[in-house]
Structure 1
Amino acid sequence: MGGCEGEPARSGKGDEYVSQGGGRPDSRVRKLLRHGFMDAAAASRLLDTDPLAPLRDDTLFLDALGATADPDLALVALSRLVEALGPADAPGLLDVLRTSKPLRDRLLGVLGASAALGDHLAAHPGAWEALVTYEPSDLHPGVTEFERALDGVQDPDGLRVAYRGALLAIAARDVCGTSDVAQTAAELADLATATLRAALALAEESAPEDAAVCRLAVLGMGKCGGHELNYVSDVDVIFAAAPASGADEETALRAATRLASHLVRICSDTTAEGTIWPVDANLRPEGRNGPLVRTLSSHLAYYQRWAKTWEFQALLKARYVAGDKALGEEYVAAVAPLVWQAAERENFVADVQEMRRRVVASIPVAQVERELKLGPGGLRDVEFAVQLLQLVHGRSDASLRSPTTLDALAALAAGGYVGRQDAAALDAAYRFLRSMEHRIQLFRMRRTHLMPQAEEDQRRLGRSLGYRSEPVAELHKAWRRHASAVRRLHEKLFYRPLLDAVAQLEAGEVRLSPQAARQRLEALGYADPGAALRHLEALASGVSRKAAIQRTLLPVLLGWFADSADPDAGLLAFRKVSDALGRTPWYLRLLRDEGAAAENLARVLSAGRFAPDLLLRAPEAVALLGSADDQSGLRPRDRAALEQETLAAVGRAEGPEQAVAAARGVRRRELFRTAAADLIGAYGTEGTEPADPAAAIDRVGGALTDLNAAALAGALRAAVGAQWGDELPVRFAVIAMGRFGGREMSYSSDADVLFVHEPRDGVSEHEAGKAAFAVATEMRRLLQLPSADPPLVIDADLRPEGKAGALARSLASYEAYYRRWSVVWESQALLRAAPVAGDAGLGERFVALIDPMRYPRGGPGEDGEREIRRLKARMEAERLPRGADPTTHTKLGRGGLTDVEWTVQLLQLRWGAEHPGLRTTRTRDALAAAAGAGLVAGGDARTLDEAWVLASRVRNAVMLVRGRPGDTFPSEARELGAVGRYLGYEPGRVGEMVDDYRRVTRRARAVMERLFYGTE
């Protein structure tokens, strides 16, 4: 490391010590400032003290101080060390400092980087002599050399002192650059191994009777096992035991447990001599709840029957470190086959991904941006990626089984599983991040992975890594660059080689074998990796421009597919869309140049069957997924624009069947637009605000209502034109009912309607009735024609007298019926009536007719309310499908849609005449109005609203995932997982999803029973 000649002189503490006459810092202060001292005046005073006076004008000494991470810290620590040595021994140290550059660099380098090791030297001043030796054999000691350094310790405190002395030498090699970060980490692991052996020896000496009856092996795990330990880290271990000759197993296990517990205390306890490090045995079977020590057979029985995926991932790093060597090596050999079979376990990838997500989620929000280890682009990202690839490909390639991250990464590159340039970038990023972590921990010898917040600490850290001009700025720039590289390379690490397995490669490139590619696809969640590989070959093979673009797109698309509930379906649908549009110039260009379009397409294709089925019938609709910045292509179109386009398409058709087919074509495209926007979350956001499920369900319901209303308008035009042209002898209107009238349609909703007519001048009632009936019948016929499109079923059963009544009635007939025969449930049904097609004036007159019925003065009365409750109870008893779970049925189940809607509708019937806000066809708006008017407590309204939104979202999710209607959660695992994704649940949390649904609806049911049935 060079000096700091380029650093500008600083104003600040040095300005206090200006010379008496000139008003400028004296020459020594200026010189110290140039050497990087922050408090040059204090350093100058310290150099004038008797112990350090011999060095104050030594240029080589000052240059060496200036090369340290923190010259001020180094000088203060040296002063304390000299003082501790005393007049008799201090001159010897000062002489060596003047004459020995290796010692000078090593001692001052340590003192400038580590306040904790400075404290150690002040407490044990003779330890500096361990830094004098500078022989080749000293450069990279292993376990043997460290055991020799710890040999002869008599008690735990002696071990602590000897350990810290060995650590001093490791730190010296590290800060002086004679050991790189990988060598330093290996030395730390070897020192930990020697320390565990020494601690076990002390435990055995204190209890020879225990040592005589058992064989105890200590297995290193984690970074200790991987030969990549930190300066300050828990040392992860597992203990295995066996009876000594002639001893029984129970006695041996008790003895081994006492020895293991004593070993843990020796290493973990804190005394006046400090601590070594905590020994963590929580990676053992059953964690902290399991026995500390088990036999090998007990370990194997657990792993074969109960172990989770992460436990095999942890065992990848297991190695013998202390105790009975034969038993330790037998343990490693016995668990190895289980480790390399882990990738064949069900939900392997989901388990690994979920563990990584849990790690990230556990980081406090305020610390995420400072995390070197656990945060995005941190050390754990590299380690998880390497371990996942090891577990996938190490089954068939033993060269990949190194427990050391960098060695394993090099093996993955050599085997063609990772590109060499990518591996080099990850290697560099990992080394940089580990170096940062080491230097941060070295300062106070505290376990931390956080970037320090104080500027002086960041300056020290930057200088320790060689940044001198602007150490803080340069440090952050390098950190951002490496973290970004880790994040960017993740997708390539997993998915680029899959394309190499099927594509023509440049000469000299290493390719992933088809068998290895199938293994990787299987491990990443593809249920049929052979079929997936064939799809990749069809998409990416060859030398055409199309294949070249596909090879560019597919790595990231495969990642998005693999992160879905059904990767196979996503990839298959993508192939079908590409086959249909591959020759269309704009298609691949859209995906290549509009990053959001490609991601949106991947998410839509892998989210379920509904949207892909729509897209495959009209592949050109993929263009809607463009406009990445504002997602304008996915914004719902208003009803007027939809109706205008639909009627124009109908008008161009040659006959009624062709006309309704044209209307269906518009509806199909708009259904895809709505479903795609829903699946990617575009309907739940406004600007930069987080997604709001309630806003999304409102927008989806409104969009579906508008597109279905436009389709009905098109069918009406086609039905009229077939027989009457433009001159229908009757005014005719379509009144939406139920969820249609409430603008709350789901993807599976029927179109509940009433047909109303009014004779034109000069037309008899009989002729008008015949014409209206013919139009309504023809509309239903046309919309029921066989088609591959999702059906739009017209349901007119809410008309007077139900199925037995006239399909279409005149306005006068409705008035007479409602005046004379209407019952309370019809008033309730009319609460959501709204005109949607046909003669607008007639629709308005119909609304004026029914308003007094649905908003009656004085409410429905006691008899009316009693009848409503009776009908609701009967519906609950009779209409729930046999075998359906009432706790999860979204429509008729406990706290589901009907519970909320009937409660709201009862409030509307009671109070609609007095409170105009209740005169709305929309459930949520009416509920909010009731709360605003004080008719419902705010908390009760929120409970009902939350349940209604959730039940509506589940119904939509089921249709989107399965492609067919459903009122309860699917039973098939992939479908259930896809529903969970739609609702915002990560993989592996579907049980939590169902529990949440039951909790929300149970609370809603309690509110409903109190408000609707009057129970307390």
Structure 2
Amino acid sequence: MTAPSQHRSLDILDAELPAILASEVERYWQRLLDRCDADQRTWYAEFADSDQRQHLLSAFAGSPALADMCERHPAWLPDLVANNALGVRLPDEAWHEELSAACAECVNADDLAKALRDFRNRHWLRIVWRDLNRLATMEETVRDLSALADACVEVALAFLHKQLVAERGEPRSADGTPQQLVVIAMGKLGAGELNLSSDIDLIFAYPQAGSTVGAARSDDNQAFFIRLGQRLIKALDARTADGFVFRVDMRLRPYGQSGPLVISFDALEEYYQDQGRDWERYALIKARCIAGDRREGERLLTQLRPFVYRRYLDFSAIESLRDMKSMIQREVARRHLQDNIKLGSGGIREIEFIAQCFQLIRGGQEPALQALKLQAILPELAKMAYLPEPVVDDLQGAYRFLRNTEHAIQAWRDEQTQQLPEADPARVALSFSMGFGDDVAAFLSALEQHRQRVATHFANVIAPPETEPDGQHLSNNRWRTMLDELEKDSVRQTLEEAGFDDADEAARLLVALLSGASVLRMQGSGRDRLYDFLPLILEDLCDAESPAATLLRLIPLIEAVLRRTAYLVLLIENPGARKRLVELCDASPWIARQLAAQPVLLDELLDANSLFSVPEKAGLASELRQRLLRIENNDLEAQMEALRYFRLAHVLKVAASEVTGSLPLMKVSDYLTYIAEVVLDAVLDIAWQNLVDKHGSPVPAGDDQRHFLILGYGKLGGLELGYGSDLDLVFLHDLPSTNVSDGARPLDAATFFTRLGQRIIHILTATTRLGDLYEVDMRLRPSGNSGLLVSSFTAFSDYQHSQAWTWEHQALVRVRAVAGDENVAQKFAKLRAEVLCKSRDILVLKDEVVAMRQKMRDHLLSGSDKNAEFDIKQGAGGIVDIEFMVQYAVLAWSQQHPPLTYYTDNIRILESLSEQGLISAADTRTLVDAYKAFRSQAHRLSLQEQKGLIAESALGTEREIVSRFWQQLMLSP
């Protein structure tokens, strides 16, 4: 071998490397050349003079471990360059193929260990080279490292399983099904985000109990797989002359180090169900099957998903993550790890905690938040408006910077550390690798800026609730003392002193709640949360107009969440949401009942801007579309739940805006109608796709229309929906009945559209965890309940022209297309105008309308309502009188005045009557004002959960005006 002094120097210039690193790089270079043969020395000399020179210098300067790898294996770098492996990322499928080929000739465990370590070290060199020279992004680096680990585990397991089967027989279930070990990766490997020197967190499981067959001695399956797991760990973790493949950590398995190395699926599920702790939910967020029986592994993870992701909003996750962070902070302080970029303030772990906090809280409702990769979660948080975009940008930028820093630290000596180095060469190398040259101060300043931003955002998301003012703290002590004693007279006295209007009743309610069986059965953290929540809500109730009545409305909500006290955590953590809860329940028992029935809606109280801001129809449609896009097309249950939550949430927003005065009456009805229309559009899409998937489409190829229409009658058609309104619907189709769908199970068009109508009604009316969407009334279709569920357009047209009763034509005044094809909608609009403009005998029409009105009043008004109170809707001079007059006017005068058919809502029809000169402008204004007054009062009563009855003397002027018009228009000759 040539003496070192005879080797060519790298001739490192000061401009190429920081001076403190140059001499060390020269030394690594000379040691490398000492190990080379003549051909290799020539290659390295030429390589050092090529355009790759700076890459060589940067790699050696940033990683003595890489230089040492090249020295021990001088043929690897030339081979990697020859195969262009340094310039491009290895394809996903290549990892397994390359390692399998390398292990194909292995005879025993020693051969396997050698092949695995060579494969790992060679690719570690390649990955570090690409990372330090920024030939790969951070995302590519972690993906490659994870793919490297996946391949090593999978190929090693396959080899060892085959070997052990030859020795001990094949493990099978009781019914003879062959069994394989399932390897679940946790942590960074599970997420595909492994770092350069990470260990790998694994859990081993097997599907079913049984025993081995085919060998002289039979083992039960657990014994077989424990032996297999031990061999797999040794193959990966044992340190040999070639180092190790990956350090393996099995402490995340059930019962930790004291538990069995491998357990069955049943035992694993039982453990998590009965004993699973919050930190184990946190760990399972990143779980991924990486080796063994992949199908069974996916089945296992699907079965464990309900343990990880609650179906309700789980704000208790904040407490758990906060406790974990506190433990980490204590460990950081004890071990002086403030300069640890993972565990220290503003480090990688805090970014992970922010993302995982939202995953645990909301992942059960938002499937998109169940992704494994942190960088897939952060954009979703911005898209769903859970975090502002600038915050997400800060977190993503910091995460990338911190992970690059982590890799540069670990590349130095291939050591598992995230601690900033103290020695000058290592600090300069870190600064140089991060693009700051030898300006360590500039690098540390940039690092500190990222960490400060992360720490600030972390505090905003997960830090403890803000400290209460002294006065509030003293008030809470008063409530806590009262609750500890819980003696009715003492409770009443405390409530009286706090200003409760009916302290005696409030005391009775509170004592009854806390003495009830549900509360007495509570234990541990749940009971603690309740007793942390009550002083806060009682203090907030002092600001209500009717504290006792509001407490009465709140108690059903409290009782509803006693088994899911995470909702109490939500309110404890968010004083603003708690105050908005009191404000809304004080204003409306209807809102209180909605929240008690569906506590998931408490989430909507978190953001005041969102709660009191209702988007226009296009915004509603976009929001629902985005929500549904995050759900698999074939998951009807999830789609139905998403639709129900969407409707509940937005109806709550409308009610909140109305009771606080930020939304006028006409807008209330508009928005409630928009919500229904957007829901109907989505329901039609879902039902159509579901049916087409099964039976194909009846629409001819090349036709992009569905030839189906949903008509809205009554309040839906008239844009006047209320909070509890049902939907009066009629379905039409416009295809020949002879058409047949083109699927494997074809249906004729009539049957197809009937099934489509049935599916739409099912989606709308089925009761799920979140209730139904809407009650649906189909009785206004031709021939009522005895008629076809879905009429052809031709049959509907014939019926309207020749068979419909006058009252059905009255109903047609308030009909419009609310979902479906535009072409059919235009045909319907033309038909509606034709029918409304038909020539009619005015006197006969008037008699029929008046008779129908009287019949309705006799049927719907009870004797007590007639005498004691005024029924806003059905009483003489009320809403229905105005509606009947409008309908009569349209039917009577549209032939001469077609513009009367343009609108379906009463107010715009009244305005059209004025524009056509049929009613004076002054009379129109008085009728419109009366109509608005009636509807406004009806809305208020609805939110107070009262019948539509008012005092006989109320709204007297308006009733007199309507009655006078009724007399003039309907009863005069």
Q: Normalised by the shorter chain, which TM-score bucket?
A: 0.3 to 0.5
Using the size of structure 1 for normalisation, the TM-score is 0.42
TM-score normalised according to structure 2 size: 0.43
